[in-house]
Structure 1
């Protein structure tokens, strides 16, 4: 009886999740319910031959592939300050031959802050701003932390690491485990991150106090006018026993790593009316050669994104 009750408590629907986002962040018609604040970018991708030995995806053909990107701040507040100690996002849509698509959706923390959708739902409830103060109730936040250990690793990472000085100076992590399928139909478990060629750089404590609330978008727009910005995609090769269904747990640091390709961003622009604005960066949009695992967060993201997408394209 206890196990069944516990399972029931863990179940959250996509509609419930998006409704709670609206309750916590407010409704901003026509905009994303999460990672609301952001900008668009355009560029290209070239995959590596080494990655092609692990995956038959056209992503690793070695040919130049057009990319529509979006950089963003976590959360549903469109006016969230860029100095906030929250995650930053990079979402990519690769335009593959034959009108096929590959999406890769990442954040700049090595792990996610929830092992199950219920934890993320409870976080939204706990961090809803109090009507009288405009800030979350400290008691509710403390109670959430005490009862959700799967949130701890990401929370500690964000607390210890200041935000980046630029979207271009940040690592971005796939956080989930995926499957690479090669030409011989051999499956390899992988995780990945995108590493900036210009180096990872964070705001100093002094800059955290003095930087304006909205510097990130214009900084990337200005930077790409001076020249392209690049990231290398590094892929960890999994071994038997590595966790594949829990994005809060990191793999051992000694896992083999390969360079899977290079992303080049050549221009950036405000998201309103730009190419990325109406894209639903569903991470389960995958081309042949890459498949999802049974990670409950990964599989939940697709229906939740769909609910949010339907609302915003209707102007709600």
Structure 2
């Protein structure tokens, strides 16, 4: 993150905003510190490491935008020139020993390095919806996941009660239950989840959601592979695949309409919405994250360059202060 991005994130973490949008009382009940603390209690703490998506792999490549995007955004991301990208692929959660077969989201985080030092971040997971419409739901899930001292595992009754009382968590849980995890980071689509606003040269805005679709195709693990694969295989497969040649994903926009839910990442948009391919991401190399470029990056999704703006999604705005607190802790070796 550049200096301005760190300053903005730091101000948010200090209590300015904390992700609350006007009139949303439920959000104001939750602080970023509460969420980070609950995550530490649910997964434990590995000093100097991320609190979430701790297990990851660095990668590098480039992005080339298409002219079709310029009808919606003036972002330099879509100039048609190659834009360097620092990527990170990951597993959700704060357990560095989590098995790669776990039915949890996979992540793709991208830092686009534009001319003049400007940055654009995109932080995505491989489920089309998020498991919370409000920060309070995410916090309550983490509280329900905290291990019972008697068993060392989450209390099934608390998890059951959480699901029953938080319907906005069910769509993502259903997706994870019904879809086996991908066989490789290379064989998964990744979704931006939130609504963003593309801003064109005349200042007109268009609500959009984006996803990155793998040119290698989507390939889930078989039921047998879920039982027999070792705990660690995703990093090795990604590194081996990049040694065979470049990996590519198509960036696809979904164009929203005024009636579509723009501030709720737990809900999808209708399937008949216009789809536009606006560029291609190419990954040329991958490496273990230790001491690699991506390791120290705080992939804050609110780090944006001109031409792309956030919606009022409360979960999107809450991520920035939460990331800032986690980033500050790991930077201090905590």
What TM-score do the two structures reach when normalised by structure 2?
Answer: 0.92
Partner Cα separation in structure 2 for residue 190 and residue 37 of structure 1: 30
Q: Partner residue of 1:254?
A: 272
Aligned with 2:224 (options 190, 198, 206): 206
Q: Mean Cα displacement is larger for which, 122-131 or 238-247? A: 122-131
- For the 8 Å contact 2:27–2:134, the answer to whether it is kept is no
Residues 185-224 of structure 1 aligned to structure 2 (within 5 Å):
185-224=203-242
Q: How many residues align?
A: 311
Residues 1-316 of structure 1 aligned to structure 2 (within 5 Å):
7=25, 11-316=29-334
Q: Residue 114 of structure 1: CA displacement?
A: 0.2
In angstroms, what is the RMSD of aligned CA positions?
1.1
> 1:64-114 deviations in whole A, cap 9, x for unaligned?
000000000001101110000000000000000000000000000000000
Partner Cα separation in structure 2 for residue 174 and residue 208 of structure 1: 26
Q: Residue 11 of structure 1: CA displacement?
A: 1.7
Partner Cα separation in structure 2 for residue 170 and residue 64 of structure 1: 23
Q: Residue 225 of structure 1: CA displacement?
A: 0.8
Taking structure 1 as reference, are residues 243 and 8 closer, same or farther at Cα in structure 2, changes over 3 Å only?
Answer: closer
- For the 8 Å contact 2:184–2:234, the answer to whether it is kept is yes
> 1:40-83 deviations in whole A, cap 9, x for unaligned?
00000001100011000000000000000000000110111000
Taking structure 1 as reference, are residues 186 and 220 closer, same or farther at Cα in structure 2, changes over 3 Å only?
Answer: same
**Runs of 5+ in structure 2 lacking a partner?**
1-23
> 1:272-307 deviations in whole A, cap 9, x for unaligned?
100000000000000000000010000000010000
Partner Cα separation in structure 2 for residue 163 and residue 143 of structure 1: 26
> 1:206-245 deviations in whole A, cap 9, x for unaligned?
1100011110011101110111110000000111111100
Partner Cα separation in structure 2 for residue 181 and residue 253 of structure 1: 23
Q: Partner residue of 1:3?
A: none
- SS of the equivalent of 1:168 reads helix
- For the 8 Å contact 1:10–1:117, the answer to whether it is kept is no
Q: Mean Cα displacement is larger for which, 199-208 or 132-141? A: 132-141
- SS of the equivalent of 2:293 reads coil
Taking structure 1 as reference, are residues 297 and 76 closer, same or farther at Cα in structure 2, changes over 3 Å only?
Answer: same
